[in-house]
Structure 1
Amino acid sequence: MPYKETKVEKLYYTIGEVAKMFDVNTSLIRFWEKEFDVIKPHKNKKGNRLFTQQDVDNFHVIYHLVKEKGMTLKGAAKKMKDNKTETVDNFEIVKNLESIRAMLLDLKENL
């Protein structure tokens, strides 16, 4: 029976990895952690923050609201608190539409 390598998904991401995903400083990640209640990283014995995939998904929504839509931190926190499911759904729709647009532009260039 041949050896089959299984794909391993990461359970935790360091603050540096999360900052690199969004091309921001680690200080901004720490600041957003304090400002938004939905971000709850685990901490190891040394006190290093370890973020789950759910935390990273929440960072995606926060980044979209604050950096891309230009909302204030207070407004983004209120939107996340009041109607988080609608906000996440809208973010997913925007992300899907952007990927479709990129695919169509790529198709147009190849014609």
Structure 2
Amino acid sequence: MELDKLVLDKQYYSISEVAAMFKVNTSLIRYWENEFDILQPKKNRKGDRLFRQEDIHHLKLIYHLLRERKYTIEGAKQKLKEDLKLAARNFEMVQALLKVRGFLTELKDQL
């Protein structure tokens, strides 16, 4: 998934917009919200969830651990507890390496 190419130009995103970004159901986003303490979107008076860029960054990290690294929910919770900063840095490093790989592949194709 090309999560690093997401352009976040709004202050708040609805749950349906966020679910579309990650190509998952809104129910999965709500489930992750219940399971992971780091994910705490704001809610308006109607109770609609409003996701900030920080929340989307946390979702990227959760998505990376669960879907790409194949952690269980409990395993991902433990990983986040152990060192949230390290997990975030590792995720960013993987994303940067994927960008470099894409660039090099593109460059190779042009030669």
TM-score (norm: length of structure 1): 0.90
Q: Which runs of 4+ in 1 moved over 4 A?
A: none
Please say which structure displays the higher CA radius of gyration: 1
- What is the CA distance between 1:78 and its match in structure 2? 1.1
State how far apart, in whole Å, the 1-side matches of 2:35 and 2:10 are.
25
Give the distance between the partners of 2:52 and 2:27, measured in 1 at CA: 18
Cα distance, 1:26 vs. partner? 0.5
Give the number of aligned pairs: 103
Match of 2:93 in 1: 93
Quick one: distance in 2 between partners of 1:91 and 1:30? 22
CA distances 1:74-105 after superposition (whole Å, capped 9, x unpaired): 11011112200000000000000000000100
Match of 1:6 in 2: none
Structure 1 gap ranges (5+): 1-8
Q: Give the whole-Å Cα distance in 2 for the aligned partners of 1:102 and 1:73.
A: 30
Between 29-38 and 10-19, the greater mean CA deviation after superposition: 10-19
Percent identical among aligned pairs is: 50
Residue ranges of structure 2 left out of the alignment (5+ in a row): 1-8
Q: TM-score, normalised by structure 2?
A: 0.90
Pair 1:53-2:53 in alignment: yes
